[in-house]
């Protein structure tokens, strides 16, 4: 089986690649070839004996998607996007990368299928940013998409296209709305959501972290390991069971910042919790207030998608996967 | 005030033009100039003393939208689309006209605003086809869009773009999901929804009409006069009151085919009702089964949109507006 990962250099893309290589295949089929694509050079995975191509490609340039699809990969993971903040700051770039890039990919698959039958599995990462306030207490599977950002708009359009192209039989698509990934490995960044990870990741290695919002703020989380599990499950699920509504809000853990800190205290002690410095930031507070905080993802649960059940578990996943099982 | 109507040669476009000319303006402002655009030549309205341009334009051709917007109309009605059946039969044409054409228009407005401040009112006709079965008994204002046709997908994408461009301040947009228009004037056509009008319009002038579905079939209707009223209201409504969710399911009348026939009998007698010939058509029955049948359009009602309250009223509107007040 030949798998194409677009957005392979990102955090989720790298972890997905590692998992596919570690498993040696997916859904009972051996992994023979891997094509890793990103706007920055992807790294070939260690320990993979199959065919690997690592390509630096901007999917939003006309003709690039066709070249990737000419190899007729059996499975496509479309993870590539510019993030919310950048799509908001640069309107044209956001639409070019997140909308046109996605449409070029979908069109390339459709046109390849006109030459000879071709119907790959296509997994698209969407986002809870397709939802816009005001929200019900829990967002269920029939709540409308009214994004309040250009990024959310672009993802919502991607979802609609994915459903229609799937209904038409051009590919077997599934879109998954990832919760906020926590604990995100790496350094603190300027994303408005960064603090959800910073306040756990940094204290776990003895470093101070800044909390810009109140402890009452509630949000929707899943670990990087859970995210990879979602992608693997989406790639192999029986789409007959999913039916025509191909975009799913995934399971996650709804927790307040206070609950995050309590879990940190339980797992790593008071000395870790003390490294969180309160520094209220009105701008971040306002942004976060417009985000979803809780879901009732009944369909995804019934289809077998699973996330963590406690923040203790999310923290332990991080310690196992990123810190070699040890904390400071 | 300069008004641009795209899709001006269609039934709703012509009635809207006539209404604007009859009123001499809109929202307290005089109508000075009217630009009527369609893929077939629009007809200049009788009795209008302002400036009129009638243009045959395909909005999906790059550059055409820019030419229309260069004149900086104060108000834009975007009614143009290829219909559901055609968008389903010709995938590429549907996306070209209904998606690319709409996006070119929105982009042209945005780019015009980059030259000098420009923020017209833009009214977009969407459709209840943005919804896909299974439905609740009544579709409310927070029910998700999961279209089951390419046409519905294209309209749903137009809605998302309209919201984002409005939020960004590129134009003051509002999207309205029209109910099925009944009684549609003219000749019977091959649209799957045609019979809803045919079974009333034809008997009212003494002609037989075919009913392809059971009398229990329920659907969502508004008259052509109500449709024009919706457009006029959308063009002048205070958008602050509408808020960020700029696409509205409009009021209509939920009625079964049996209730339509009862109303015909009350208004035009048994001899009219007898002209309906039952000829079940499995294909049409299946299509219609996937359509919404009832709504709870609370937001649109609270914002002052109004439709008919009975089918007797819908029939009387047709008799007044199309038959000079007389029936056969």
∠ at Cα B221 (B182, B97), nearest 5°?
A: 75
Same domain, A119 and A40: yes
CB contact under 8 A, A164 and B142: no
Of A132, A142, A167, the CB nearest to B148: A167
H or E, element range at B173 = strand B172-178
Q: Tens of pLDDT along B256-279?
A: 999 999 999 999 999 999 999 999
ipTM of model: 0.96
**Predicted confidence (pLDDT) at residue A111 exceeds the cutoff of 80:** yes
Q: Would you mind telling me the total number of residues written for chain B in this entry?
A: 328
Q: Establish if A274 belongs to a structural domain.
A: yes
Burial status of residue A72 (CB atoms within 10 A of its CB: 0-12, 13-18, 19 or more) = middle
In angstroms, what CA-CA distances link A167 with A28, B87, B152? 26, 14, 13
> What CATH number does residue A204 fall under?
3.90.25.10
Count up the domains in chain B and report the number. Answer: 1
Q: What is the mean pLDDT of residues A35-45?
A: 96
Q: Phi and psi (nearest 5°) for B53? A: -120, 130
pLDDT computed for residue A84 by the predictor = 87
Half-sphere CA count of A266, side-chain side, radius 13 A: 13
Q: Would you mind telling me the total number of residues written for chain A in this entry?
A: 328
Half-sphere CA count of B211, side-chain side, radius 13 A: 20
pLDDT computed for residue B62 by the predictor = 95
Q: With contacts defined as CB-CB under 8 Å, which chain B residues touch A248?
A: none
pLDDT computed for residue A189 by the predictor = 75
Same domain, A126 and A107: yes
3-state secondary structure A24-59: CEECCEECCEEEEEECCCCCCCCCCCCEEEEEECCC
CB contact under 8 A, B144 and A142: yes
Of B144, B147, B153, the CB nearest to A144: B144
> In whole angstroms, what is the distance from residue A124 CA to residue A173 CA?
7
Q: What is the DSSP letter of B295?
A: B
> In whole angstroms, what is the distance from residue A61 CA to residue A253 CA?
37
pLDDT computed for residue A287 by the predictor = 85
Q: Is A152 helix (H, G, I), strand (E, B) or coil?
A: helix
Q: Establish if B58 belongs to a structural domain.
A: yes
Q: What is the DSSP letter of A130?
A: G
Question: pLDDT tier at A192 (50, 70, 90 boundaries)?
Answer: confident
Same domain, A245 and A155: yes
Residue in chain B closest to A155 (alpha carbons) equals B160
Task: Provide the Cα torsion B230, B231, B232, B238; round to 10°.
Answer: 80
Same domain, A35 and A161: yes
Same domain, A103 and A143: yes
Q: Which of A196-210, A284-298, B281-295 has maximum average pLDDT?
A: A196-210
Q: How far apart are the first and last CA of chain B?
A: 42
pLDDT computed for residue A327 by the predictor = 82
CB contact under 8 A, B161 and A153: yes
User: Which residue in A144, A132, A183, A4 sits closest to A76, CA to CA?
Assistant: A4
| Proportion of chain B above pLDDT 90, given as a percent | 93
Question: pLDDT tier at A29 (50, 70, 90 boundaries)?
Answer: very high
Burial status of residue B244 (CB atoms within 10 A of its CB: 0-12, 13-18, 19 or more) = middle
> What CATH number does residue A116 fall under?
3.40.50.720
Same domain, A153 and A263: no
Q: Establish if B119 belongs to a structural domain.
A: yes
Q: Is A90 helix (H, G, I), strand (E, B) or coil?
A: coil
Same domain, A117 and A209: no
CB contact under 8 A, B142 and A147: no
Question: pLDDT tier at B188 (50, 70, 90 boundaries)?
Answer: confident
Q: Establish if A301 belongs to a structural domain.
A: no
Same domain, A75 and A208: no
Cis peptide before B183 (omega within 30 of 0): yes
Q: What is the mean pLDDT of residues B174-200?
A: 92
Q: Is A254 helix (H, G, I), strand (E, B) or coil?
A: strand
Q: Establish if B94 belongs to a structural domain.
A: yes
pLDDT computed for residue A106 by the predictor = 98
In angstroms, what CA-CA distances link A10 with A20, A127, B222? 15, 15, 50
pLDDT computed for residue B85 by the predictor = 87
Sign of CA dihedral A18, A22, A23, A29: positive
Question: pLDDT tier at A320 (50, 70, 90 boundaries)?
Answer: very high
- In the numeric block, which tokens belong to residue B19? 């209404």
Q: Establish if B233 belongs to a structural domain.
A: yes
- Domain containing residue A265: 194-220+252-293+308-322
> In whole angstroms, what is the distance from residue A189 CA to residue A310 CA?
25
Q: Establish if B208 belongs to a structural domain.
A: no
- In the numeric block, which tokens belong to residue A201? 């990741």
Residues paired with residue A248 on neighbouring β-strands, in sequence order: A176
Question: pLDDT tier at A187 (50, 70, 90 boundaries)?
Answer: confident
Q: Establish if A188 belongs to a structural domain.
A: no
Same domain, A12 and A131: yes
Same domain, A265 and A154: no
- Which residue of B94, B157, B173 is the best one to mutate when testing the A interface, meaning the one whose CB has the most A CBs within 10 A? B157
Same domain, A214 and A116: no
Residues paired with residue B273 on neighbouring β-strands, in sequence order: none
- In the numeric block, which tokens belong to residue A296? 């009732």
Same domain, A70 and A205: no
CB contact under 8 A, A91 and B145: no
Mean pLDDT of chain A: 96
Of A132, A157, A167, the CB nearest to B244: A132
Q: Tens of pLDDT along B56-110?
A: 999 999 999 999 999 999 999 999 999 888 999 999 999 999 999 999 999 999 9
């Amino acid at each position: 089986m030949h798998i194409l990962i677009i957005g392979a250099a990102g955090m989720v893309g790298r972890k997905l690649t590692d998992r596919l290589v570690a498993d040696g295949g997916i859904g009972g089929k051996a992994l023979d070839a891997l094509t890793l694509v990103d706007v920055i050079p992807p790294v070939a995975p260690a320990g993979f004996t199959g065919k690997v191509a690592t390509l630096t490609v901007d999917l939003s340039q006309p003709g690039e998607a066709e070249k990737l699809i000419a190899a007729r990969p059996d499975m496509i993971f479309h993870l590539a996007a510019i993030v919310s903040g950048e799509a908001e700051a640069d309107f044209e770039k956001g639409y070019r990368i997140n909308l046109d890039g996605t449409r070029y990919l979908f069109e390339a698959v459709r046109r390849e299928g006109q030459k000879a039958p071709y119907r790959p599995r296509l997994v698209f990462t969407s986002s809870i940013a397709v939802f816009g306030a005001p929200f019900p207490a829990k967002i269920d599977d029939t709540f409308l998409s009214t994004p309040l950002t250009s990024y959310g708009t672009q993802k919502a359009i991607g979802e609609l296209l994915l459903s229609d192209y799937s209904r038409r039989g051009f590919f077997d698509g599934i879109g998954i709305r990832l919760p906020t990934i926590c604990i995100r490995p790496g350094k603190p960044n300027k994303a408005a959501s960064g603090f959800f990870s910073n306040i756990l990741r940094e204290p776990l290695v003895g470093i101070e972290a800044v909390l810009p919002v109140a402890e009452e703020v509630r949000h929707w989380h899943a670990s990087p390991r859970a995210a990879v599990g979602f992608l693997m499950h989406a790639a192999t699920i029986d789409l007959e069971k999913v039916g025509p509504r191909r975009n799913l809000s995934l399971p996650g853990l709804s927790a307040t910042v206070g609950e995050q800190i309590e879990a940190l205290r339980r797992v790593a002690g008071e000395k870790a919790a003390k490294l969180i410095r309160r520094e209220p930031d009105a701008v971040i507070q306002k942004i976060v207030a417009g985000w979803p905080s809780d879901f009732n993802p009944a369909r995804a649960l019934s289809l077998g998608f699973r996330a963590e059940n406690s923040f203790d578990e999310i923290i332990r996943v991080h310690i196992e996967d990123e810190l070699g099982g040890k904390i400071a």
